[in-house]
Structure 1
Amino acid sequence: MPSGNEMMNYVTIIGRGVPSNYEISVNGNIEPVADSLEETTVISEHAVEGTIETGVHRFQFSGELANVHVLDWNGTPASESPSTPAVHVDYGLAVRDIGN
Structure 2
Amino acid sequence: MSKAENPFRYFNSSPEVIRPVVMMYVRFPLSLRNVEDLLFERGIDICHETVRLWWNRFGPLFAMYVKIDGEMCSSAMARPEQNHRWSVLVQSGDG
Q: TM-score, normalised by structure 1?
A: 0.25
Larger Rg: 2
Q: Which has the higher contact order (CA 8 A, sep 6+)?
A: 1
Structure with more of its chain in strand, by fraction: 1
Q: TM-score, normalised by structure 2?
A: 0.26
